[in-house]
Homo-oligomer: A and B are copies of this chain.
């Protein structure tokens, strides 16, 4: 058999709320939160980042980790890393003892590189404007952030189109409301209807006013990074953000073994202001790295450590995350693939490397190459996301909304991915083995051959027993067909609309809001008139 021939009837909830029996305050709060979840993906009072109790998957032996390490040290020393169009960074490396060839190629030995890598803290806390949403980065914590960077959006009703500021606002609102997203992210979508020179101001303003979760800084230009820091200073205080970072910004290497002026100038601004940077090699193996995962991991390691080293040379102790964005090409067409076995193995290997240097690790997400949230999108996303959690990733960009290799932010995909985020929050808790979990009273009450639906033990655990789904649907075929044979894609369509409909902005200090609006207005004029910035 092994087929569910009938649905079992739903148990009746107990007349007396079961919480009273449980003395544990945290359990009570979780139970309350669980009840709120019934309404959808709406937020609870404050963010609770995951504490990952799973044993981590380590695909490399200790010796394997050392082989990757030594290979990357050889790349650093013999092959080197290019710095394009940013002489000041080249000079920084030279001053600190690196060898520079042709004014662009930087080479270092292990001692020099590791001396600086060691300055980086192994954990840090990023400030949110709601202190209850301050977010721990590193250790056993896992933080989910939404999709980053798509130029397009898509939904069930209108298909794919250029993203606008309205879309940015929508994703900012939904991320704020989503209980299982712990971080507001950064470039949720590219607001293409706004001039590229002042776009960053609108995005930052949206993050600050529409949400109270921690957010990411702009990296598209040196000036934009400076604007980001100044707005954070207005919101949090200049002194405060030097104590604990209020910004976390995504720095991509232009792999292989290359960084450019845009990214390294942003590192300079943020590191000097002691704001966190997330150094991420951007590798599609077979194109930006060899096809083999050993070489790819070694190269990724060289690039990540090189960027981290730069931040530490600029300001020792700057908080960093060791990043990995690693996929592979389809050898037949050259297209990037997602959710592949090779990428998942590399995700685990990358995590081991980051842990070797005691650095927080970024990787994974709900990745897919598919253009719509179809079955392929589900398989690929879940394959990557399972590996993300099993590998012990600390910061998960692209946890929700990613379609077509990151070119599209999907409204429905966002909602479907939230279900995965919610399930993972339960997953990482592992299995409880306390006396209550062995349910001895239930066996005494029920005995062999009878069901447990109405037992006192089941009633005590009614509210928190299992993850409760919001968009995945368990109806049998008959009920499903009678209600219109709606697939998951269409079901998610109703949910994001409801979320946007229910959205209410978090309160923001009026003085701060005014100061921010004033700053933005002034900067817009300066940008539009081409005036040099004050400084």
A467 to chain B, nearest CB (A): 6
* Cross-interface CB contact of A480 among B54, B334, B371, cutoff 8 Å: B371
Bound-complex Cα distance A335 to B404 (A):
33
> Can you name 8 extra interface pairs (CB under 8 A) apart from A287-B453, A290-B439?
A8-B284, A287-B451, A292-B461, A294-B433, A295-B442, A374-B489, A378-B382, A408-B477
A156 to chain B, nearest CB (A): 12
Are B337 and A474 within 8 A (Cβ)? Answer: yes
A342 in the interface, Cβ–Cβ < 8 Å? yes
Q: Given contacts A288-B452, A404-B477, is CB(A383)–CB(B380) below 8 Å?
A: no
A399 to chain B, nearest CB (A): 13
A258, A333, A457 interface centre (most CB from chain B within 10 Å): A333
A468 in the interface, Cβ–Cβ < 8 Å? yes
Are B488 and A3 within 8 A (Cβ)? Answer: no
Copies in the complex: 2
Are A252 and B331 within 8 A (Cβ)? Answer: no
Are B54 and A55 within 8 A (Cβ)? Answer: no
Interface size class of A (residues with CB under 8 A): 35 or more
**A447's closest neighbor in chain B, by CB?**
B79
- The proximity string for A residues 479-506 relative to B, scoring 1 for CB distances below 8 Å and 0 otherwise, is 0110001011100100000000000000
A98 in the interface, Cβ–Cβ < 8 Å? no
Identify the stretch in A120-128, A164-172, A191-199, A322-330 within 8 Å (CB) of chain B at 4 or more residues.
Answer: A322-330
**A70's closest neighbor in chain B, by CB?**
B438
Q: Which 3 A-B pairs have the closest CB atoms?
A: A378-B378, A3-B406, A341-B427
Bound-complex Cα distance A349 to B381 (A):
25
A10 in the interface, Cβ–Cβ < 8 Å? yes
A256 in the interface, Cβ–Cβ < 8 Å? yes
Identify the stretch in A89-97, A144-152, A510-518 within 8 Å (CB) of chain B at 4 or more residues.
Answer: A144-152
Are B416 and A375 within 8 A (Cβ)? Answer: yes
**A466's closest neighbor in chain B, by CB?**
B328
24 contacts between A and B (CB under 8 A): A2-B406, A8-B287, A8-B336, A11-B286, A64-B433, A67-B433, A68-B433, A79-B448, A256-B448, A256-B452, A258-B448, A291-B465, A292-B439, A292-B457, A292-B465, A294-B439, A328-B466, A335-B476, A340-B467, A376-B487, A379-B472, A380-B472, A386-B387, A390-B390
Collect the chain B residues with CB atoms within 8 Å of residue A58's CB: 55
**A280's closest neighbor in chain B, by CB?**
B2
Bound-complex Cα distance A341 to B465 (A):
11
A332 in the interface, Cβ–Cβ < 8 Å? yes
Collect the chain B residues with CB atoms within 8 Å of residue A10's CB: 330-334
Are B160 and A372 within 8 A (Cβ)? Answer: no
A473 in the interface, Cβ–Cβ < 8 Å? yes
Are A462 and B8 within 8 A (Cβ)? Answer: no
Residues of A274-291 at the interface with B, using a CB-CB cut-off of 8 Å, are 280, 282, 284-291
* Cross-interface CB contact of A298 among B380, B438, B475, cutoff 8 Å: B438
Q: Given contacts A7-B335, A439-B290, is CB(A431)–CB(B60) below 8 Å?
A: yes
